[in-house]
């Protein structure tokens, strides 16, 4: 089975998620509205928009899953109302303004990478004054956690599996967010909102938040649990909170606090967090206090958890002077040959002539040209 297809099977089988969006879209979409479904995938949100009375839906996605979305639209009787746009949304051009933008790209701890920029771009270019966005707001929630699985995953890099010293990976592990399926008993306080993500045009790229939490019971503090609580519409909320009766099937994330610290009921945690969703960078600083005494202080960042080579860092410097690789030169050739007069077969033959070392036969040329045109051709 296609991996993409199975991923969307899991989404469509998540009844609390689909029902939450059905209720929210029914509340937000008015009869005759024009709706955009960003990163439409299988197109289910567009179907729900039509169900709510939308006059037209533009389902935008740059993946092959949109082929399935087209079939599902016809099968469910909405083929005449949904226009499928096979394109990256930031390059998509629509013939009219829209009343509503909907999307379901909320990750374990807030928006997926790049989604806020995509929403802002869509709102700036297409959304009518007074238009609505679903989700309207995404709150990021945290709680201190005692988690043996988290402890095992981090401390693995302090061990010697099969007699091999793997300690070079410890700093990376300590500064990583790990997906988790948490039970409420692992939380040491109730969840607290640390910040809200704002996708409105002109909003910030860097989000900050602070919170103070009081430990409920004695335990070993292993990290911070994180999840989301999304206001899809004025009266519909969706969450992946541990133990929530209507939680969707999306895991949470846990951020380590090392070294481990034993805490008691009444201890205070002061948490400061920053995030750049576009780059999936999260920075978390925590102070643990007992009365006036500070027990421990932590500062971690996923920036320190990224496996960046010296070569990668050098190439990101503003004064670095880049040069095209042979594959880059060949890609430029494909784009130059797409002049509106040549057929694909002609382009492939010319590519073999120009780049014989890189494309030694017809199959290699066909594959290379197809990969370029899949992104830039029309």
Cβ neighbours of residue 40 closer than 8 Å, sequence gap 6 or more: 46, 59, 60, 61, 66, 69, 84
| Spatial separation of the C-alpha atoms in residues 357 and 29, rounded to whole Å | 56
**Closest by CA position to 209, among listed 226, 230, 224, 195:** 195
| pLDDT by position in tens, the chain (length 378) | 466 788 888 888 989 999 999 999 999 999 999 999 999 999 999 999 999 999 999 999 988 899 999 999 999 999 999 999 999 888 899 999 999 999 988 888 887 767 788 889 999 999 999 999 999 999 999 999 999 999 999 999 999 999 999 999 999 999 999 999 999 999 999 999 999 987 777 778 889 999 999 999 999 999 999 999 999 999 999 999 999 999 999 999 999 999 989 999 999 999 999 998 777 789 999 999 999 999 999 999 998 888 776 677 667 778 888 888 999 999 999 999 999 999 999 999 999 999 999 999 999 999 999 999 987 887
Helix (H, G, I), strand (E, B) or coil at 82: strand
Contact between 80 and 245 under an 8 Å Cβ cutoff? The reply is no
Domain boundaries, the chain: 3-104, 138-310, 326-376
What pLDDT, in 10s, does the model give residues 321-357?
A: 888 899 999 999 999 999 999 999 999 999 999 999 9
Asked if 115 and 39 count as a contact pair (C-beta separation under 8 A), the reply is: yes
Helix (H, G, I), strand (E, B) or coil at 223: strand
Cα gap 220→177, rounded to integer Å: 19
Q: What is the pLDDT of residues 251-286, one digit of tens each?
A: 999 999 999 899 999 999 999 999 987 777 899 999
Q: pLDDT value at position 1?
A: 47
Using CA atoms, how far apart are residues 22 and 53, in angstroms rounded to an integer? 12
List Cα–Cα distances, 289 to 144, 257, 264, 269, 292, in angstroms: 14, 15, 10, 6, 7
Helix (H) or strand (E) holding 115: helix 115-126
Backbone angles phi, psi at 342, to 5 degrees: -95, 140
**Hey, how many other C-beta atoms are within 10 angstroms of the C-beta on 329?**
13
DSSP SS3 for 220: strand
In the numeric block, the tokens 């993946």 are attached to 63
Specify the pTM. 0.84
Q: Which CATH architecture has domain 138-310?
A: Distorted Sandwich (2.70)
Distances (CA, A) of 152 to 140, 149, 256, 269: 25, 5, 11, 23
Q: How far apart are CA 199 and CA 115, in angstroms?
A: 9
Q: Which of 3.40.50.620, 2.160.10.10, 3.40.50.150, 3.30.750.200 would CATH assign to domain 3-104?
A: 3.40.50.150
């Amino acid at each position: 089975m296609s991996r993409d297809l199975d991923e969307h099977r899991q989404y469509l089988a998540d009844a609390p998620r689909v029902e939450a969006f059905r209720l929210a879209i029914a509340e937000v979409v008015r009869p005759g509205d024009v709706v955009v479904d960003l990163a439409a995938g299988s197109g289910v949100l567009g179907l729900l928009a039509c169900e709510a009375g939308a006059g037209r839906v533009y389902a935008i996605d740059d993946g092959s899953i949109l082929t399935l979305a087209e079939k599902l639209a016809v099968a469910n009787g909405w083929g005449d109302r949904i226009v499928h746009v096979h394109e990256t949304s930031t390059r998509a051009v629509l013939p009219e303004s829209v009343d509503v933008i909907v999307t379901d790209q909320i990750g374990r701890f807030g928006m997926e990478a790049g989604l806020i920029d995509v929403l802002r771009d869509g709102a700036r270019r297409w959304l009518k004054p007074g238009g609505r966005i679903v989700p309207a707001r995404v709150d990021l929630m945290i709680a201190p956690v005692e988690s043996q699985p988290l402890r095992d995953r981090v401390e693995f890099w302090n061990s010697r599996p099969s007699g091999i010293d793997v300690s070079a990976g410890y700093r990376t592990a300590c500064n990583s967010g790990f997906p988790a399926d948490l039970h409420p008993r692992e939380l040491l306080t109730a969840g607290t909102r640390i910040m809200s993500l704002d996708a409105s045009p002109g909003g910030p790229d860097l989000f900050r938040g602070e919170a103070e939490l009081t430990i409920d019971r004695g335990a070993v503090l292993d990290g911070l649990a994180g999840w989301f609580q999304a206001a899809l519409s004025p009266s519909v909320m969706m969450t992946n909170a541990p133990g929530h009766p209507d939680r969707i099937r999306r895991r949470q994330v846990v951020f380590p606090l090392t070294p481990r610290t034993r805490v008691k009921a009444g201890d205070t945690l002061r948490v400061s967090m920053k995030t750049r969703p576009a780059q999936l960078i999260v920075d978390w600083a925590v102070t643990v206090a007992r009365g006036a005494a500070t027990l421990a202080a932590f500062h971690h960042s996923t920036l320190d958890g990224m496996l960046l080579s010296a070569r990668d860092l050098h190439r990101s410097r503003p004064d670095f002077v880049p040069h095209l690789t042979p594959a880059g030169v060949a890609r430029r050739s494909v784009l130059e040959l797409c002049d509106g007069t040549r057929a694909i077969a002609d382009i492939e033959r010319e590519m073999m002539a120009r780049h014989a070392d890189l494309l030694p036969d017809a199959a290699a040329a066909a594959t290379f040209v197809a990969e370029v045109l899949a992104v830039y051709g029309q």
